[in-house]
Amino acid sequence: MINRECGVFQTTYRGDMALYPVPLAKASYGLLLLVLLALPLAADSHKMAIINLIGLASVGAIGLNILTGYTGQVSLGHGAFMMVGSYTAAILSARYGMPFWIGLPAGGAVAAAVGAFFGIPSLRIKGLYLAIATLAAQFIIEWCINHITWIGGGAQSSIYVPTPTFFGWEINNEYRRYFLVLPVCVLAYVAAQNLVRSRVGRAFIAIRDRDVAAEIIGVDIFKYKLLSFAVSSFYAGVAGALWTYYLKIANYEHFILSTSISYLAMIIIGGLGSVLGSVFGAVFITLLPIVLVYVVEGIARLFGFTYFTIADFLANLRLIIYGGLIILFLAIEPEGLYRMWGSIKRYFRLWPFSY
Partner 1 sequence: MAFFMDLFVNGLLIGSMYALVALGFVLIYKATSVINFAQGDLVMFGGYIAAAGLSLYHLPLWVAAPVMLVLMVVLGFAVERGVLRPLIGQPVVSVIMVTIGLALVFQGLAAMVWGAATINVPLPIPLKPFVVWEIFISPINVVAAGLCLGFLVLFAYFFRRSRMGIAMRAVADDQQSAMSVGINVRIVFALSGAPAGLASGIGGIVWGNMLGVDTHLSLVGLKVFPAVILGGLDSVPGALLGGLIVGGVESVAAGYIDPYVGGGTKDFAPFIIMILALMFRPYGFFGREIIERV
Q: Are strands 169-170 and 249-251 parallel, antiparallel or unpaired?
A: unpaired
Query: Measured from the CB of residue 336, what is the shortest distance to partner 1 in angstroms?
Result: 10
Nearer to partner 1, 239 or 264 (CB): 264
Q: Are 283 and 271 in contact (CB under 8 A)?
A: no
Q: How far apart are CA 266 and CA 275, in angstroms?
A: 12
Query: Measured from the CB of residue 191, what is the shortest distance to partner 1 in angstroms?
Result: 23
Nearer to partner 1, 198 or 258 (CB): 258
Q: Are 116 and 123 in contact (CB under 8 A)?
A: no
Single out the residue of 161, 160, 163 nearest to residue 173, CA to CA.
163
Q: What is the DSSP string of 173-218?
A: SHHHHHHHHHHHHHHHHHHHHHHTTSHHHHHHHHHHH-HHHHHHTT
Nearer to partner 1, 2 or 311 (CB): 311
Q: How far apart are CA 319 and CA 193, in angstroms?
A: 33
Query: Measured from the CB of residue 260, what is the shortest distance to partner 1 in angstroms?
Result: 10
Single out the residue of 188, 248, 246, 247 nearest to residue 66, CA to CA.
188
Query: Measured from the CB of residue 248, what is the shortest distance to partner 1 in angstroms?
Result: 27
Query: Measured from the CB of residue 217, what is the shortest distance to partner 1 in angstroms?
Result: 11
Nearer to partner 1, 42 or 128 (CB): 128
Nearer to partner 1, 216 or 302 (CB): 216
Q: Are 306 and 298 in contact (CB under 8 A)?
A: no
Query: Measured from the CB of residue 339, what is the shortest distance to partner 1 in angstroms?
Result: 13
Single out the residue of 256, 251, 276, 278 nearest to residue 267, CA to CA.
278
Query: Measured from the CB of residue 334, what is the shortest distance to partner 1 in angstroms?
Result: 6
Using CB under 8 A, list all residues that contact partner 1.
68, 74, 76, 121, 124-125, 127-129, 131-133, 135-136, 139-140, 142-143, 146-147, 210, 212-213, 216, 261, 264-265, 268, 272, 312-313, 315-320, 322-327, 330-331, 334
Nearer to partner 1, 30 or 127 (CB): 127
Rounded to an integer, what is the distance from CA 317 to the centroid of its chain?
A: 25
Q: Are 180 and 246 in contact (CB under 8 A)?
A: yes
Nearer to partner 1, 63 or 164 (CB): 63
